[in-house]
Structure 1
Amino acid sequence: MAELRYESFGIWSKLVFSGKITYEITQKMKGEVEAQLLEMGEGTILVCDLSQVTFLDSSGIGCLVFLNNKMHQKGGSCCLYHPSDVVLKTLDLVQLTTFFDVVVNECDLITRTSG
């Protein structure tokens, strides 16, 4: 079962995704995610923790593209933190690995979010 958890840390916020991210799940999460984005201020950083994602379909990819674009529109940034092998393979298959800012370890994450 997919799950979404939100945590705020000042200038950056984290969305923790887990399980299978499919069309049905993204439709359920859409309102919750959009509400979180509205609460975030200008110039903030969104970290999408994808380490626990076991499946990602095209609507899941679309959700990540949406988040990335929204954050850039707000003058902020979005990074994919520690994406699982499944996520990396899926993004590579559709040639989007360079579209996203991918952070694979905690040290890099701290550097990017320390403001």
Structure 2
Amino acid sequence: MPIEEPIRVKVESALDHLNQAQASLAAGNLLAAFQHAVAASELAETTFFDPTMVAQLYFPDEHKFAVYMPLFVPVAVPLVLALLRELKLQRARKRAAAAEHLHAD
């Protein structure tokens, strides 16, 4: 996956801020640790939602079908067949009950 230079710079900067936050926290400087953590979080979020990256989060429907069909079809076919069989049995029971009711009268 090609990553553009501005994205790479933002990610590296976010990681640098995160490392500085950890170092500041280890040194007991809570304010600096908090500031670096906020900067890292903001950089990571803006990078994640960058228009060049967001497009890669979505896949065409054809790709989704290609991935999920082999998983769901083997389960769905027996379920659909069983449902159809049960519907036929239910219909046959109703007909038998209706015919029995007519003969009883």
Structure with higher RCO (Cα < 8 A, 6+ apart): 1
Structure whose CA Rg is larger: 2
**Same-fold call, TM > 0.5?**
no
> Which is richer in strand?
1
TM-score, normalising length: structure 1: 0.24
TM-score, normalising length: structure 2: 0.26
> Which is richer in helix?
2
